[in-house]
């Protein structure tokens, strides 16, 4: 699992929660998410523990509800901009769930998922925007089919089910950093 596309300067934490993409799938979508564990709290090992299947259900009441989930994203950007990669880019991370983009279902098959440590309502940090823009450019070097129009939020591919990255995410700021 350590083989594959791992971005330089990013801490590697290989998650078991991934698999091969379908044959002949083209990676052409980038999905921006947010996550905080426990909800609304930042720091700590909990996000990593969730993606590595080692979240202690006794550590917080909320964790009992989610400790058995098998989920992952390709990347996590912490509030300070530090970054972890859980899944090599060419493999399918389990981040989108039931989803649809431009009439195509199962977005995990053709997307890269990036989690921002945050919530829908709290502003993201300067460091997160800067790191997200850098990572986006690196990812697009591998997958040029990810055009600006093919960068979206989790809420856009799972409406009614997901709300992230939420109204606090400044899409105009992020897109200006990519220009």
Q: Which two tokens stand for residue 152?
A: 């979206």
Task: Tell me, yes or no, if 115 is annotated catalytic.
Answer: yes
Pick the catalytic residue: 41, 65, 105, 115?
115
Question: Contact at 8 Å (CB) between 117 and 47?
Answer: yes
Peptide bond into 38 cis (omega under 30): yes
Dihedral angle, C-alpha 135, 155, 76, 168, nearest 10 °: 80
Question: Contact at 8 Å (CB) between 20 and 1?
Answer: no
Contacts of residue 90, defined as CB under 8 A and 6 or more positions apart, other chains included, come to: 4, 5, 21, 27
State the catalytic residues.
Answer: 115
């Amino acid at each position: 699992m350590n083989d594959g596309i791992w971005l330089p300067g990013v801490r590697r934490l290989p998650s078991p929660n991934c698999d091969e993409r379908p044959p002949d799938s083209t990676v052409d979508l980038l999905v921006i998410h947010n996550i905080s564990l426990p909800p609304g709290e930042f720091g700590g090992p909990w996000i990593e523990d969730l993606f590595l299947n080692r979240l202690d259900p006794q550590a917080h009441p909320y964790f009992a509800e989610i400790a058995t989930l098998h989920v992952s994203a390709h990347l996590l950007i912490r509030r300070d901009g530090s970054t972890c990669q859980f899944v090599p880019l060419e493999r399918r991370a389990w981040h989108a769930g039931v989803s649809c983009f431009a009439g195509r279902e199962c977005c995990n098959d053709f997307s890269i998922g990036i989690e921002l440590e945050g919530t829908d309502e709290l502003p993201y940090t300067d460091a997160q925007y800067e790191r997200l823009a850098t990572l986006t450019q690196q990812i697009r070097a591998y997958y040029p089919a990810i055009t600006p129009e093919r960068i979206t939020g989790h809420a856009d591919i799972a409406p009614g089910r997901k709300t992230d990255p939420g109204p606090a995410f400044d899409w105009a700021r992020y897109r200006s950093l990519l220009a």
